[in-house]
Structure 1
Amino acid sequence: MNQDNVDKNEPTQAPENAVEEVVSGEVELDQGADEQGLDWKAYADELEAKLSAAEATIEAQKDSVLRAKADGENARRRAEQEIDKARKFALEKFAGELLNVVDNLERATLAADAENEAVKSLLEGVEMTHKSFISTFEKFGLETLDPQGEAFNPEHHQAMSMQESDEVAPNTVLAVMQKGYVLNGRLLRPAMVMVSRGGSNSVDTQA
C-alpha cells in the first residue's frame, strides 16, 4: 500500500485540547464583556425601574385628565343652573312692580257698577286689560294665589286677621284681602287673608 495515499485519506486528528480552547475562548469573551463594564442584571433592573416610573407618570396624568374633565363637567352644570335660574327669575323685580297695577285693575273692576251703562264699556276695557296682564304673567311662570276656602298655608299666605266660624274648619281662609303670586315655584308675594279659628286653635300668622 502506498504510504502517501494512506496519509492523504486518514482524517486529521483534532488536538486533544481543542474543546478546552473553545470553552476557554468563550469564558474569556464573557470576562471581556464584564471588563467593559456591562452588568446586564443591573442594566435590566434600571430599565425596569424606568418603566415603572413611566407607568406611574402615565397613571398620574390619567388621574389629572379625569379630574380636569370632572371639574369641567361640574362647572358646565353650575353654569347651566345659573343661566336657568337667571332666566326664571330675571323678571322677578319687574313683575313685582307690576303687581300693584294688577291690584288696581282688580279694585277698579270690583268698585265699578256693572249695571251702569255709562261705565259698562269702560269696565269691559279694564277687565280685558286685567286678563291680558294675567295671561302674560302665566306665560312667564307667574301664578296667582287666590286661596278662598282653602286651608291656611303659612308658606304662601299671610294672615291679616282671624275670625271665629262654625261653618268651616279652623285654619280655613275665609276671605282674600289681596291675592298672592308665585314665580316659577318661588313665592313673589304672599296672599293676605282672613283665617277662621275655633276654640283654642291658633294659626301661625307669619308667611
Structure 2
Amino acid sequence: MANLVSLIRTLLGLLVISLLFIHTQAVYLACFALTIAVIAMDALDGYLARKLNESSKLGAVIDILGDRIVEQIYWVAFLALGWLPLWVPLVVIVRGIIVDGLRAMALEQGFTAFGQSSMQQSKLGGLLVSSNFSRTTYAVAKAAAFAFLILGHTPGFPPTVAANITNVGLISTYVSVAFCVVRGLPVLIEGRRFLTDDTKASPSA
C-alpha cells in the first residue's frame, strides 16, 4: 500500500508539471491543489509503511526515488517556465546524484538511508539527515516553494498580490536548496567509507 501511494504521488507530480504549460487560472488552481495532494502523500506513504508494518529496504528505495522524481521535475519545470535561475535545479540534481550514488553503495552492504540500519553513524549526521525534524523541515520548505510559486504565477491575481506570493515561494526555494545541501554533507562525509573495496561493515541491529 505504501509503495502504491509513492507511485501515485509520482504520477500526480508528472501530471501537474504537464498542466503547468497550460496557462489558465483554472488549470493553475488545479495544479496548486494537486501539488498539495502530492505533498500530503509524501507523508502518507511513510505513515502507511509504519502503520501496516510494510517498512523494507525496497520501500525505502522506492520512497527516495519518488522524492527525487517529484522534486527534480518541479525544479526543472520551474526553470523551463522562467521562474527560477539555472543554478537551483543544478544544485539539487547534482546533490541528488552524489547522495544517491553513495546510498546505493551503502545499500549493497546492508545499510539504508533511514531507519535502524541507517548509513549515518554519527549523531549529527543522523540529526541532519534522518531525524523527523530535519526531514519535516525540508519537506515543508519544498512544499511551500512548489505551492507558492504555482499560486504566485496563477493568472488573474492582482500584480502586487501575485508578487508577494511569488516572493514567499522564492524565499522557500532558497531555504529548501540550502537545506538540501546541508542534509547532503553528512551523507558525503560518512559515505566515504563505502568507497573502499575492503569495507565489510554490517548494519547495526
Same fold? TM cut 0.5:
no
Asked which structure has the greater RCO (Cα within 8 Å, sep 6+), the reply is 2
Length-normalised TM-score, structure 1: 0.27
Q: Give the structure with the higher percent helix.
A: 2
Q: Give the structure with the higher percent strand.
A: 1
